[in-house]
Amino acid sequence: MTASFASLVGAELGPSSWIDVTQERIDAFAEATEDRQWIHVDAERAASGPFGSTIAHGYLTLSLVVPMLYEL
């Protein structure tokens, strides 16, 4: 952990900017990673699945941490 991040331990940082996770973004991520599982890209099938709609890939969600770090 760098000194600058260490100084933030326990500090309230506030909210970051809102990031929309659209189906278009999910589809682009699916193409880039070749992970086209139905739960991510098939809205019709996913509608009857456990979440009621498509869901973002775990790694897509994780990758959104990067732009948030620039706001610290």
> Is 55 within 8 Å of 39 (Cβ atoms)?
yes
Q: Where are the domains of the chain?
A: 19-69
pLDDT attached to residue 3? 67
3-class secondary structure, 13: coil
The mean per-residue pLDDT over the stretch 60-67 comes to 94
> Is 57 within 8 Å of 26 (Cβ atoms)?
yes
pLDDT attached to residue 2? 63
pLDDT attached to residue 1? 54
> Is 13 within 8 Å of 72 (Cβ atoms)?
yes
pLDDT tens column, 10-58? 988 888 889 999 999 999 999 999 999 999 999 999 999 999 999 999 9
**Amino acid of residue 41:** V
Q: What is the pTM of this model?
A: 0.79
Contacts of residue 35, defined as CB under 8 A and 6 or more positions apart, other chains included, come to 29, 57
